[in-house]
Structure 1
Amino acid sequence: MGTVNNSDSQWIQDEAEKIRSSLLNELHRIENEVNEQFSSFKNDFELRHPKTSEPLKIKPSYRQMDETRVFVARNSILTDLFETSHIRSIRNVFAAMLLILVIQVTINDIVHSGRLKLNFELIFYCFQKLHIALFIWLIMQLCTAVIVFMGFYYWTSNRIFYYDNIKRLRIYDVTWLIIYITYIILFLVLPCREIVNHQLPVASSLIVLIEQLRQLMKTHSFIRENVEKVHLQCRLISEPNTNTNNEIKQLSCPDFSQYLYFLFAPTLIYRDNYPRNKVIHWDYVLQMFGQVIAAIFYVYYVVVRFCIPTFANLNQNQITLPIFISVLFNSIMPGSLFLLLGFYGFLHCWLNAFAEMLRFADRMFYKDWWNSTSFAAYYRTWNVVVHDWLYTYVYREVFLLTGGKNRVIAAMCVVLLSATFHEYVMIFALGFFYPIMFVLFAVFGMGFFFLLPRNKGVVFNILVWTSLLVGVGLQSCFYFMEAYARKSCPANDTFWDKLVPRSIVCRMALPSAKILHIDL
């Protein structure tokens, strides 16, 4: 009888899990569809029919009227999905695959060298000179926290004194605009110069580059969100019969504590306040950081097991089209794991860890991109943090500058800008110019974005996944081939050697170079 009761209890639990999983998936789907439809309707209406108001009233800017990102307390999708045992089992499968990789590499070490190798040379190599990268990051962080805020505070505090003279006000604003542009240029150039001078390896370079772009985007968001407030406050101060000057001046510049919180919060859109949780679950923080470390080791074992054996033994002189196609398809599986591990390790674990430490309640760092049936949907849902910034400060700005009638130009600017900075990161992280990322992103990605039909269904989801897997396979294949060619082919002290891929011209004559026959 007890067995029957246990069986019934287990059956009830399984059925309850199924119902819960089904409800969660349906709720997420409905939420995404309603948000997209409502946002699309609201944006179209307000962009084509902007509101007008009386001169003495604070009229909302286009940004305020068209605001689509509303910060509310919510979990990441995977956090909710992992509440069900069925979804957790998928994560367990990847953990089991990691365990098998560790066992396989361990057995290979024992068989071929007679002992167990636990030196992790590749990881230590990629993170070499980490102290230099962290020092560069510290200098960038101090510049963003102190110089940007103090500069904006000074501009805000003194602008009202020039408001009675339009010419002097224009000179004052243009001067500070030039200072701002100069700061952005220097912030882009100087860290890259340090990366080149110190010859930072891949992981250390990525730390500097990603932090550089993150802080630049945060700087622009802070400036852009507050500059119009300052304009309106100055206008009100100059008008009679308005609020007292003290009340208005208090609104001119945010508190430094608000700005400092924004610099570390996992969002690129500035707000004076965000929804906050009441407590910090430190066990959850440790769990997330532990999974980030596990993802790094996962990447290491994938590279050691699948990539190094393939490309280290690849003979450059014998590469034919069939061999290249074979290598390409061998690269799709590890490339796919890089994609999934990068998403899970950074967009889910890393951002959720910082959100928990800062009690940041809005955890929508991504949406259900795996259900995308078009590349337009994939771009919107893969990385919501960056997408919000691009949509707010690039797409909408370009759309308004072009008269609010042409969305194609605005979308092209977003894709080209994103592709350019993706390639920028790859150039300085890998140490060579090989624009595979730009070509796939800006050429093929843009073509898929505009030309492929935006239909729903399993077939289109399969097509998106197939294109993604082939794309990451191509990137892995070309970048590994070029990396090994850079090691094997002697350097040529010419300008073209920095730009032309050695994996292509290893047997061709560059200026002042001899014909080379190099084995990778």
Structure 2
Amino acid sequence: MESTATDTNDSQWINQETEKIHAEILLELNRFESSLNERFAEFKHTVTAQQEETALANASNHQIAEFRVFIPRNSVLTDLFKISHIRGVRNVFAAMLIILVIQVTLNDIIQEGRVNLHFEIMFQCFANLHVALFIWLLMMLSTTIVVFLGFYLWAKHRNDYHKTFKLYDRIWLSIYITYVILFLVFPSREITKHKFGGASAIVILLEQLRQIMKVHAFVRENVPKVLSVVERKAADKKFVCPDFSQYLYFLFAPTLIYRDQYPRNPTIRWNFVLQMFGQVIASVFYVYYVVVRFCIPTFESLNQEEITLSIFVSVIFNSIMPGSLFLLLAFYGFLHCWLNAFAEMLRFADRMFYKDWWNSTSFAAYYRTWNVVVHDWLHAYVYREIYVLTGRKNRTVPAICVILLSAAFHEYVMGFTLGFFFPIMFFLFGVVGLVFLLFLPRHRGVAYNILMWVLLLIGMGVQSSFYFMESYARKECPRNDTFWDDITPRSFSCRITLPSSEHSKIDL
């Protein structure tokens, strides 16, 4: 009997040890799989980057080469969110949004005895949205029909004027330049005329710039094809113009570089589309609650005390956290969620809308990786064009032109969105950023990445504080109905008399 009991205990002990070994093996296999997936994702992005750099290096400067290679690939965050640790970071931001909503709600109940959702601010931001959407529809019809029809007529009848090619081309070039100028002027005039809210205005402005860049890319890529017909033999001279379906797809595709064909996915994942649009809406509410909780109380209180240098510095550093959230939410809501949603609906397979800009160790790398969609357009149609015109000897001049052009249009959007001219973004982006780009050393390492983040976050704090201060100054300071009043920052030139018993004054 003792022998039988001993055998039973031994058997149980063996089974337990076997199960422990089995569990440990499975755990190690899971760890190995996770590590392998991470390394494979890093390898994939590295290979992709090297392929593009090689394609760019091999591109000829004498023609518009396809330096932007479109291949099927996910966005960086799409791959990173497959790792549970990165998903945990996103969940932390979602939890912070829930806490903000609860905090604002409790403050309303305690102070006012009821829930005040403050949605009047949201309604002000989207004021006259229906008019903005109507203007967008007119802009879209113009870009879709007028531009394509004009290019079609120019390309179709060009051979009929083979004796006066130069005059024919110059006439159509003048028409094209006039169209671009009018496309810039009329929407801007309508924004000023109808007094749109900030969100309504930014819809028109961003669409205005997007459509102009789309039109220029389409024209710039297809003009050389039409011009090449002249060099062919008479028998080979046939009409060259893309199909309207190709042009229409390009107008909605999440890219600013024109190609006749793009890599396409076989199916549409509608659950993914709904998820992306849901996160866009969540990002909008996130920005809204950050403004309500952190920005409005801070800048409303500035109207109750004299602004000294210490208070001004404190406001700037208090604005770094909201400003950094604006930066991250704009990136995640638009560059990741919005563009991925449209890419999925259009089965657009190349989702490289940005790169790992958060790992940048210089502002040059940050500018290249933050918004790849716009960077590709600037590099293809501004940087390389200027580089060729300057004799292919100096890369600094094209880089300066790109930064200044980008800064000017960023300030253009901010000016018409806010309704006043205060070029703080142009100064930080086009002057300070350009100095950092040209003179900061470009070394790899953690220290330079931290330095880049410190400067970036301070810049966001400065922008947020200045724009909010100017907004409140525009509300409180009286107008003098002069041209200089519209272009002079009122927060620097105005003294406000508070409606108090002491009639104290403050400097904004």
TM-score (structure 2 length as normaliser): 0.92
- Matches of 2:398 and 2:210 in 1, distance apart? 22
CA shift, 1:62, in A, is 1.2
CA shift, 1:463, in A, is 0.8
Q: Alignment partner for residue 317 of structure 2, among 325, 329, 332?
A: 329
Match of 1:404 in 2: 392
| Alpha-carbon displacement from aligned partner over 1:52-111 (angstroms, at most 9, x marks no partner) | xxxxxxxxx5112xx310111111011011111111111011111111111111111111
Confirm whether residue 443 of structure 1 aligns to residue 463 of structure 2.
no
For structure 2, the residue ranges without an aligned partner over 5 or more in a row are 1-15, 497-503
- Matches of 2:417 and 2:201 in 1, distance apart? 5
Alpha carbons 1:336, 1:472 under 8 Å: kept: yes
- Mapping 1:214-293, distance limit 5 Å: 214-236=210-232, 239-240=233-234, 242-243=235-236, 245=237, 248-249=238-239, 252-293=240-281
- Matches of 2:487 and 2:277 in 1, distance apart? 38
Alpha carbons 2:415, 2:421 under 8 Å: kept: yes
More deviation, 131-140/120-129: 120-129
Identity score, percent: 62
- Matches of 1:102 and 1:8 in 2, distance apart? 45
More deviation, 118-127/355-364: 118-127
- Matches of 1:162 and 1:171 in 2, distance apart? 9
Q: Alignment partner for residue 375 of structure 2, among 375, 387, 394?
A: 387
Match of 2:207 in 1: 211
Confirm whether residue 62 of structure 1 aligns to residue 63 of structure 2.
yes
CA shift, 1:36, in A, is 5.9
- Matches of 1:371 and 1:31 in 2, distance apart? 17
Alpha carbons 1:366, 1:385 under 8 Å: kept: yes
Alpha carbons 1:315, 1:519 under 8 Å: kept: no
Confirm whether residue 429 of structure 1 aligns to residue 417 of structure 2.
yes
Confirm whether residue 190 of structure 1 aligns to residue 186 of structure 2.
yes
Letter in structure 2 aligned against 1:190:
F
- Mapping 1:3-152, distance limit 5 Å: 4=20, 9=26, 12-32=29-49, 34-35=50-51, 37-39=53-55, 41-43=57-59, 46-47=60-61, 62-64=63-65, 67-152=66-151
Confirm whether residue 303 of structure 1 aligns to residue 277 of structure 2.
no
Alpha carbons 1:506, 1:517 under 8 Å: kept: no
Letter in structure 2 aligned against 1:93:
V
- Matches of 1:41 and 1:190 in 2, distance apart? 40
Match of 2:363 in 1: 375
Relative to structure 1, is the Cα distance of residues 109 and 11 closer, same or farther in structure 2, using a 3 angstrom cutoff? farther
Q: Alignment partner for residue 502 of structure 1, among 462, 484, 490?
A: 490
Alpha carbons 2:52, 2:69 under 8 Å: kept: no
- Matches of 2:158 and 2:383 in 1, distance apart? 29
| Alpha-carbon displacement from aligned partner over 1:417-474 (angstroms, at most 9, x marks no partner) | 0000000001100000000000001101100111011111111111111111011111
For structure 1, the residue ranges without an aligned partner over 5 or more in a row are 48-60, 509-515
Relative to structure 1, is the Cα distance of residues 480 and 169 closer, same or farther in structure 2, using a 3 angstrom cutoff? same
- Matches of 1:154 and 1:380 in 2, distance apart? 37
Say which SS state the counterpart of residue 453 (structure 1) adopts: coil
| Alpha-carbon displacement from aligned partner over 1:281-325 (angstroms, at most 9, x marks no partner) | 000000000000000000011111110110011137611111111
Alpha carbons 2:324, 2:461 under 8 Å: kept: yes
Letter in structure 1 aligned against 2:377:
W
Letter in structure 2 aligned against 1:254:
P
Letter in structure 1 aligned against 2:107:
N
- Matches of 2:403 and 2:55 in 1, distance apart? 21
Match of 2:155 in 1: 156
Alpha carbons 1:488, 1:519 under 8 Å: kept: no
- Matches of 1:270 and 1:41 in 2, distance apart? 20
CA shift, 1:125, in A, is 1.4
- Matches of 1:457 and 1:483 in 2, distance apart? 39
Relative to structure 1, is the Cα distance of residues 39 and 467 closer, same or farther in structure 2, using a 3 angstrom cutoff? farther
Confirm whether residue 454 of structure 1 aligns to residue 442 of structure 2.
yes
| Alpha-carbon displacement from aligned partner over 1:302-360 (angstroms, at most 9, x marks no partner) | 11111011001113761111111100000000000000000000000000000000000
- Matches of 1:317 and 1:498 in 2, distance apart? 26
Alpha carbons 2:306, 2:506 under 8 Å: kept: no
Alpha carbons 1:17, 1:85 under 8 Å: kept: no
CA shift, 1:31, in A, is 3.6
Alpha carbons 1:292, 1:346 under 8 Å: kept: yes
- Matches of 1:18 and 1:86 in 2, distance apart? 12
Match of 1:178 in 2: 174
Letter in structure 1 aligned against 2:88:
S
Confirm whether residue 360 of structure 1 aligns to residue 348 of structure 2.
yes
- Matches of 1:119 and 1:416 in 2, distance apart? 38
- Matches of 1:332 and 1:263 in 2, distance apart? 36
CA shift, 1:20, in A, is 2.0
TM-score (structure 1 length as normaliser): 0.90
- Matches of 2:304 and 2:145 in 1, distance apart? 51
- Matches of 1:119 and 1:481 in 2, distance apart? 20
Alpha carbons 1:129, 1:200 under 8 Å: kept: yes
Letter in structure 1 aligned against 2:54:
F
- Matches of 1:121 and 1:82 in 2, distance apart? 35
- Matches of 1:184 and 1:429 in 2, distance apart? 20
Match of 2:9 in 1: none
Alpha carbons 2:72, 2:349 under 8 Å: kept: yes
| Alpha-carbon displacement from aligned partner over 1:141-161 (angstroms, at most 9, x marks no partner) | 000000000001010111001
Alpha carbons 1:75, 1:364 under 8 Å: kept: yes
CA RMSD of aligned residues (A): 2.0
- When Rg is computed on C-alpha atoms for both structures, the one with the higher figure is 2
- Matches of 1:316 and 1:171 in 2, distance apart? 65
- Matches of 1:11 and 1:115 in 2, distance apart? 54
Relative to structure 1, is the Cα distance of residues 504 and 519 closer, same or farther in structure 2, using a 3 angstrom cutoff? closer
- Matches of 1:259 and 1:37 in 2, distance apart? 28
